[in-house]
Structure formats: C-alpha cells, structure tokens
Amino acid sequence: MILTVTLNTALDLTYGVPALVPHTSHRVGDVSERPGGKGLNVARVLSALGHEAVVTGFAGGSTGAVLRELLADLPPHDALVAVSGNTRRTIAVVDASTGDTTQLNEPGPLVSADEWAAFLTAYGKLLAEADAVALCGSLPPGIHVGAYAELVRLARAAEVPVLLDTSGEPLRRGIAARPDLIKPNADELAQLTGGREPLRATRDARRRGAAGVIASLGADGMLAVTPEGVWRAAPPDRVAGNPTGAGDSAVAGLLSGLVEGLGWPDRLRRAVALSTATVLAPAAGEFDRAAYEELLPRVGIEDLAPAV
C-alpha cells in the first residue's frame, strides 16, 4: 500500500472559458468538480496505475463532505481525519484560446492541537501498513511549520521510504529531517537554494539533507540527483493543455517505480510520461492513458554522472 498525506485537501473546481479577459464577465463552458489537493491527485494516479493507495490528511465542513462523497466513488481509500473547519476550494480557470490556466487557492481550515494529535495517531497506524509515503502540498492554518519534518522523522523511524513535495519554510524544515526524496519545481528549488542553474541547485538541495532530489523543470522534464547517479529526463514533444496536477502525476510515477523496484532511468521515464500525459487530461488527478503509453518509450534519458 502507498500512503499519501494531504494536510490541506481541497475541492477542485475547473472552469473552461473560451478566453479569459480581465475586468469582464465570462460564460463558463465546461465545469468539473474533483476531490483535490496534491496527495489526493497522487493517489488517484497511483490507483489508475494499479497500486493500492490510501489518502489521509484533513477534511471538514460542507466542502469536506462533498469532497468525501466524491472520493467514495474513486479507488483511493479514504482515511482522512475530520476537522471542524471547512475544507478549502481551489478554482482553475482554463483559457481555451491560449491553453493557459489561472489558479485561485483558498487557505484552508484552522486545525486545532487536538485535531493534529488525532492525525498523528492515525498516521502512525497507517505507516505500519505502508510500503511508501508521500507528504504533499501546503500546510493549513494552525499546523506548525515543522509539521512535515515531524512526519518525515516518523516515517523514517517506521522504515518507510518517504517523499516530500512541498515548498517554502515547510520544505526547508522538512529536508533537514532527511527524507528519501524531495520533488521541488524550478521556483521551489531556487527559493530553497538561492540558485537558478538546475544541476547546481539540485545538488545543493541534496546536500541539505534529502537522499535524492528530483527537480521538476516543467516542459524541459526532470533532473535527478540521487545516491545511484545523476540523470536528466525530457519529454519527446512539448504539449499544450492544463498543467494543473502534472507534478502530482510525476510523484505517482516516482513512487510506483520505487515500490516496483525499477531503476532510476525507468522511474524518471514513467514520471515524465505521466506528467506530460496529465497536461493533456481535463483535470488534475487524471492522465491521458493513450498519450502516456505512446510517450513512455520515447522519453529521453541522459546520464549526467560523468559530468559531475
């Protein structure tokens, strides 16, 4: 079983408009409503790949009730912890004329000390059955900034491989607890290290505590600095679409490859193909399967180990 943690779950709303024009009214053409948050997206992709996935984190209020109702019809198992506050909503507006997406993210519910303690108890029980765990996304109000560092240490004590996918100070604190993997994007990597050159910044991030660093470089693919070597993986073609959730699909590819015992080139090939195929899908947590299967053998892998 692969466990995904989303402390700040969301009800994802995606609106499609012919063209997004500031300061005007818009007639929405397509509307989709999905259970969201980075870890839920990861779990849905893992389930589509045939893995047993369990989601935990927080859900509450009327929005949380809708989220759990939608989640009940999907393969990931719901192990979310109830809170009194209302789960947040995220709104993605997709401009059909350009393919660009505008994202609006609410902050999330205020989580009490008792609710955090209840989550830690649930998390410990779930770790006992997990083959790997992903810690994903932002922290809701009320959760201390070192929360992910605490969860990384608990996973390491349980000898469960742990991937951390967050940003800012939670990432800075979390990496010091020595997760097995982190997956920052280019902006998060620059914020963490102060550097913009991808290979140098990725190596710098690894020196801060993570065993492996997988940098997501958007349309340019991924860069991996690991104990086994250094690789760059790139999609064969640039695609247009909705990039929301592409990084979450990459996490699913990395975790599924980990538990299946794949080597790093094959893990990266899967992660890049899934990420690209997600851009072609209508909403986060989904991927275009036909595109994924066509892309997978064509993802380019470059071994950079001799150059470092």
Residues serving a catalytic function are 248
Contact 16, 29 (CB under 8 A): yes
3-state secondary structure of 107: coil
Task: Name the nearest CA neighbour of 208 among 232, 231, 247, 182.
Answer: 182
Residues 6+ apart with CB under 8 A from 123: 5, 56, 151, 154
Residue 107, Cβ density class (10 Å: 0-12 exposed, 13-18 middle, ≥19 buried): exposed
Element at 92 (helix H, strand E)? strand 88-95
Tokens 């369990």 belong to: 54
- Per the structure block, which two tokens stand in for 183? 């997956």
Nearest of 146, 131, 137, 127 to residue 12 by alpha carbon: 137
Match 């393969």 to its residue by tokens.
Answer: 75
Task: End-to-end CA distance of the chain: give it in Å, rounded.
Answer: 36
Q: In this structure, are residues 13 and 31 in contact, taking their beta carbons and an 8 Å threshold?
A: yes
Spatial contact of 15 and 30, defined as CB atoms under 8 Å apart: yes
Contact 18, 96 (CB under 8 A): yes
